[in-house]
Amino acid sequence: MKGPGNWPERASAAASTLLLGAIGLALFLAIWTFASVRLGSAVLLPPPVEVFWTYGELIADGTLIKDVRASIVRVFAGFLIAASLAVPLALLLAYSRILRGLVMPLVALIRPIPPIAWIPLAILWMGLGDPPSFFITAIAAFFPIFLNSFAGGTSLEAEHVNAARSLGAKPAALLITVMLPSALPMIATGLRIGLGQAWMAVVTAELVAAQSGLGYLIQISRLNLETARVLVGMTVIGLLGAVMIGALGVIERRAIVPWHYPR
C-alpha cells in the first residue's frame, strides 16, 4: 500500500513529465529547423517538415512498412537467439566453477570483437539476407545479456542458499527456485541493454549484408543523396527502439521482477 502520493498527485506528476518531454522535443525540432534553414541544403540537412512528408510518401508506397517489418523480424530473431543462449549459459557458469574456468577466458577474448567485424564471416557462411542479420544482431545482444545474467547469478546471497538448503532444496531446485529468480533483476537489465544493442546492430548488418530493412533504406538513400529518407530511417529506428525498450521495461515491472516494484 505504499508508493509516492495518492492517485491525483501521481497523475499530475505524470502529466508534468509528459509536458516537459514535449517541450524538449519541440525545442529540438525548432533548432533543427533553424539549422537546416541556415545551411540551406536539403542534402546536407532537410528540415523536419520535409522528413515528415517523406514519411507520408514512404508509408503510402509501402516501402517503409516492408523495411520496418524486415528489421523488426531480425531484431527479434537475433534477440531471442541471444537471450535463449545467454541466460542459461550465464547461470550454468555462475553455478559451476569448472565450467566458469573453461568458458570465461573465451568470453573475455571474443567479447571485444565488435559485431561489425563478424560481417565478413557471416556473409561467407550464410550469404546475404536474413540469416547473417540474425547472426549479427544475436552477437550484439548476447554479451550484455550474458554478462548481466552472470553477474546476477554470482551475486546470490549466501543466506538465501543456506535457507533453501535447510528447507530441503536439492541442487536442481536451488538453480530454478533460488538462483534464477535472484538473478532476474540483473537478467532483466541485460535484456533491456541487449535489445538496444540488437537495434544498433541490425542497421549495421543491413548496411552491408541485406537487401531490405531500415539499414538498407538508409544505405540506398545515402547513395541517391536522398537525405530526408536517411533521416526517416534513422528516426524510425529511434522511435521503434524506444517503444520496444519501454515495453520491455513495463513487462519487467509487471511480470519479470514485480517484487522490485511493489505498488
Partner 1 sequence: MARGVCEHSLRATESPLSGASGGGPISPRLHIVGGGEPAPETVEPKAGLPRLRLENVTIAFKGRRRPAVEDVSLSVGAGEFVALLGPSGCGKSTLLNVFAGFRAPTRGHVYLDEQPHLGPSARCGIVFQKHSLFPWMTVIDNVAFGPRRLGFENPRGIAHELLEMVGLADVADAWPSSLSGGMQQRVGIARALATRPPVLLMDEPFGALVAQTRALMQEELLSIWDKLRPTVVFVTHDIEEAIFLADRVVVMETLPGRIAREIPISFERPRAPDVTDTPAFIERRREITELIRAEARKVFR
Q: Which is nearer to partner 1, 72 or 257 (CB)?
A: 257
Residue with cell 539499414: 215
Query: Considering the rule CB under 8 A, would residue 255 count as an interface residue with partner 1?
Result: no
* 3-state secondary structure (DSSP) of residue 173: helix
The answer to whether residue 253 forms part of the interface with partner 1 (CB under 8 A) is no
Does residue 156 belong to the site contacting partner 1 (CB under 8 A)? no
Using CB under 8 A as the binding rule, whether residue 157 contacts partner 1 is answered as yes
Toward partner 1, which CB reaches closer, 106 or 167?
A: 167
Quick one: 80 or 164, whose CB is closer to partner 1? 164
Indicate whether 165 belongs to the interface with partner 1 (CB under 8 A): yes
d(CA 153, CA 253): 20
C-alpha pair distances (Å), 115 with each of 109, 196, 259:
14, 13, 35
Between residues 62 and 168, which has the closer beta carbon with respect to partner 1? Answer: 168
Residue with Cβ nearer partner 1 (21 or 258):
258
Instruction: Please identify, using beta-carbon distances, which residue of 179 and 201 lies nearer to partner 1.
Output: 179
Tracing cell 536451488 back to the chain, one arrives at: 174
**Member of 14, 30, 163, 225 binding partner 1 (CB under 8 A):** 163
Q: Is 257 in the site for partner 1 (CB under 8 A)?
A: yes
Q: Please report which helix (H) or strand (E) contains residue 249, including its range.
A: helix 227-251
Residues 50-109, interacting with partner 1 (CB under 8 A)? none
Least distance in Å: CB of 57 to partner 1? 50
Residues 180-199 binding partner 1 (CB under 8 A) are 181-182, 184
Taking the complex as a whole, the smallest distance from the CB of residue 245 to partner 1 amounts, in Å, to: 23
Q: Which of 159, 223, 224, 250 binds partner 1 (CB under 8 A)?
A: 159
Spatial contact of 83 and 149, defined as CB atoms under 8 Å apart:
no
CB of 259 to partner 1, least distance (A): 5
Instruction: Work out whether 168 is an interface residue with partner 1 (CB under 8 A).
Output: yes
Nearest to 90 by CA among 21, 162, 184, 11: 184
C-beta separation of 185 from 152 below 8 A: yes
Quickly list H helices, 40-129. Answer: 48-60, 63-95, 97-110, 119-126
CA dihedral sign, ordered 37, 39, 45, 46: positive
- Residue 189 corresponds to which amino acid? T
Nearer residue to partner 1 within complex by CB, 7 or 259: 259
| Helix spans in 111-226 (H) | 119-126, 130-154, 158-166, 171-173, 180-209, 214-223
Q: Is 223 in the site for partner 1 (CB under 8 A)?
A: no
**188 touches 252 (CB < 8 A):** yes
